[in-house]
Amino acid sequence: MPILSSWFSEFGKTFYKCFIKDNRYNMLLDGIGVTIKVSLLAVLIGIIIGLLIALCNLSKSKFLKAIGKVYTDVIRGTPSVTQLMIIYFVVFASVNWPKWTIAAIAFGINSGAYVSEIIRAGILSIDKGQTEAGRSLGLSSFQTMSRIVVPQAVKNIFPALCNEFIVLIKETAIVGYVGLVDIQKAGDFIKSVTYEAFMPLIGTAIIYFVIIKFLTILLGRIEKALRKSDVR
């Protein structure tokens, strides 16, 4: 019992030192906000780019197909941290935009390459008869794609898109390379000030776990709602 009591006492002191003293928990709260902002904007950009690239890859035009292939090959073939630094320190070096916005653009461009393959696979999973039916009703190729094919494909690819969003949240842990204080960077600051490694690292891991678990449950419910309209 004395050993257990001593352990709890030491744990409490370390916890206070890392998170309570000097209101250091505020750094983590601010970091959560940065992570969520970057991730939400990045996933939106990624979906838009992914849809455009998927349409390029499915196009009959060799030029558009070449654009889609080059984009996916370059993005998927280089590290995301390298892309982040190129976009921040080179492409947007002279642009006076908020750091989190530039970081979100970088992650959105990265995510777009993976989302494009998800969307392409989803569109190809729809029976060709759906397209033929749309065209027979007098719809243009664009109208058929936007009103018939894509809405059906969304249900098929929704779980994969959710997984991409979750992966994206964890990937944003590298935004510290461009001076943004997200969850991971806040934990690093606390570690450097307190000279404690265990508590800040476990704290950041728990925060990421809670955020992702909450999103998994929320997105799972949305997926069920989408599936209710399916004809079995």
Domains assigned to the chain: 29-227 (1.10.3720.10)
Cβ-contact 144, 134 below 8 angstroms = yes
- The tokens for 183 are 């969850």
pTM of the model: 0.87
Most confident by average pLDDT, 63-72, 118-127, 131-140: 63-72
Structure confidence at residue 229 (pLDDT) = 61
* Greater model confidence, 20 or 38: 38
Residue in 99, 89, 226 with CA at minimum distance from that of residue 151:
226
Distances (CA, A) of 114 to 50, 64, 153: 7, 17, 16
For all residues of the chain together, what is the average pLDDT?
87
pLDDT at residue 72 greater than cutoff 90: yes
Question: CB of 50 within 8 A of CB of 111?
Answer: yes
